[in-house]
Amino acid sequence: MFFAPWCGHCKNLKPHYEEAAKTLSTNKKIALGKVDCTVQEELCQLNKVQYYPTLVVYKNGKAEPFEAERNAKSIVVALEEELKPNVASLESNEEIEEFKKSNPIGVVGFFDNDHDDRYKLFTDLASSQKKHAKFAAVIGKDFSKDHVKATPNVVLYRKFDEPSVAHEGDFEIEALKNFVSGNVVPLVGEINRETYKKYESVAVPLAYLFLDSTQDNKDTLAFVGKIAKENKGKIVFCWVDMKKFPQQATHMGLSGEVTPALSIDDSANLKARFNFEEKSDFTAESVKQWVSDVLNNKVAPFVKSQPIPEKNDGPVKVAVGHTFKELVLDSPNDVLVEFYAPWCGHCKKLEPIYNKLGEFMKDIKSVDIVKIDADSNDVPSSLEIKGYPTIMLFKAGDKENPVQYDGQRNNHMDFAEFIHDKAAIKFELPSNTEEDDEDEGEPIVSNKKESKHDEL
């Protein structure tokens, strides 16, 4: 557990974490540890800790985020589950039937032997997808022919839609991941607080169909289901109850007042969101054509953006959704960007220091100081903005790999020296003749409970 002593969520988790540690104390194969990031800053930076508390499971030299519920019982169960093999062995048709009955989602690989490279690939698949399904293998058994036409192959068993689905694509890790993630959810299932975790794993575009649950949606679900089936493997559909979650529609850029409505989130492929025009007729033909156009890159993505500032010649430039690419990604300069939210107290405290930095650096022509309200404007989904403020340096010639600033925020010189050390275009720092700024910097956290950037 990576934590900070001042963090409220860390304090809430502490008794659960300690109880889990006590329960597991006799298990010599499991150890629970904690790292105070206010003391071990370098270690936390090395592990890319961006919010508190962060729970990470280290197994066989690999780190994976802990994604179970954060209470003592769930921690114990999840860690004990880690000790079990990712792939169970099935020795008979009866065991296959029992496996299918016991697991809501079960994935079975059929192989001639266990030293085939494709079996190793299957075990890697099981390791990466174990939170979404249980995995098992049938190795060198004659009864495999009762389930697959040829080996090796993979079959996913479930309790909805088609009860069994065989993989028909290439036997490659990405194709298999897409096969699993695309079939662990129904053809057009409801997404809500209980099911959204399953949809998070989907590696293809996710289409949100917004419906009014008080109306008869049978016909709409029927033709959307046909479209979903025709595009299986390319896109996953789900439906959202607009009465319960209108904020999801507005988050996607829709009005939140029109049903049926459709929005496609392709952030997994860094192509942002696409919205079916709410004023258009929502028919089987129009929706089918629009989905095809989205998949064939014929539709412009929706970008949430504030108006472009009429004047933007100050020492700190203001970026919005429509200008982020121009001011940051396409700029030939090294660009320092503050991602902030207007309601964030830490951002307000940082503002005078950041403005002073802009004044201090204004004569360095190879450096731009930029800020963007990331709560009101879209930024590239490849950027992990998990707390406010987040500050990144986009280096000239290498904008795809921004360097996150994790240092002190007490003085504008902290930032100036960071830019000087990391910038691709070398420059000489101006002399600092001003007094030190007030000690107003605090670690990155969001203080808005409703925000997706809140402490987790």
Q: 208 or 273, which is more confident?
A: 208
Q: What is the pLDDT of residue 435?
A: 56
Cα–Cα distance for residue pair 160/163, rounded to 1 Å: 6
37 is catalytic: no
Domains and CATH numbers, the chain: 2-83 (3.40.30.10), 87-182 (3.40.30.10), 188-296 (3.40.30.10), 317-422 (3.40.30.10)
Q: What is the pLDDT of residue 433?
A: 65
Q: Give pLDDT tens digits for 214-250.
A: 999 999 999 999 999 999 888 999 999 999 999 999 9
Cα–Cα distance for residue pair 213/211, rounded to 1 Å: 6
Q: Give pLDDT tens digits for 101-119.
A: 999 999 999 999 999 899 9
Q: What is the pLDDT of residue 446?
A: 38
Cα–Cα distance for residue pair 412/410, rounded to 1 Å: 7
> Does the pLDDT value for residue 285 go beyond 90?
yes
pTM above 0.85, yes or no: no
In whole numbers, what is the pLDDT of the chain averaged over residues? 89
Q: What is the pLDDT of residue 228?
A: 94
Tokens standing for residue 371? 């800020």
Burial of 339 (0-12, 13-18, 19+ CB in 10 A): buried
Question: For 80, left (φ over 0), alpha (ψ -120 to 50), or beta?
Answer: alpha
User: Are residues 208 and 252 in contact, defined by beta-carbon separation less than 8 angstroms?
Assistant: yes
Cα–Cα distance for residue pair 197/177, rounded to 1 Å: 16
Beta bridge partners of 263: 208, 275
Q: Give pLDDT tens digits for 44-100.
A: 988 888 788 999 999 888 888 888 889 999 999 999 988 888 899 999 999 999 999
Q: Three-state SS for 134?
A: strand
Which is nearest to 15 in space by CA: 53, 47, 57?
Answer: 53
Looking at 101-110, 210-219, 344-353, 439-448, which range is the least confident one? 439-448
> Does the pLDDT value for residue 7 go beyond 70?
yes
Looking at 34-38, 194-198, 206-210, which range is the least confident one? 194-198
User: Are residues 347 and 341 in contact, defined by beta-carbon separation less than 8 angstroms?
Assistant: yes
Residues 6 or more apart whose CB falls under 8 angstroms from that of 425 comprise 333, 334, 366, 367, 396
Q: What is the pLDDT of residue 167?
A: 94
Active-site residue, selected from the candidate residues 37, 44, 238, 344: 344
Active-site residue, selected from the candidate residues 37, 44, 238, 347: 347
Q: What percent of the chain has pLDDT over 90?
A: 70
Q: What is the pLDDT of residue 373?
A: 97
> Does the pLDDT value for residue 11 go beyond 50?
yes
Q: What is the pLDDT of residue 268?
A: 61
344 is catalytic: yes
Q: Give pLDDT tens digits for 377-434.
A: 989 878 888 889 999 999 999 999 999 998 888 899 999 999 999 999 999 998 876 6
Active-site residue, selected from the candidate residues 10, 37, 44, 238: 10
7 is catalytic: yes
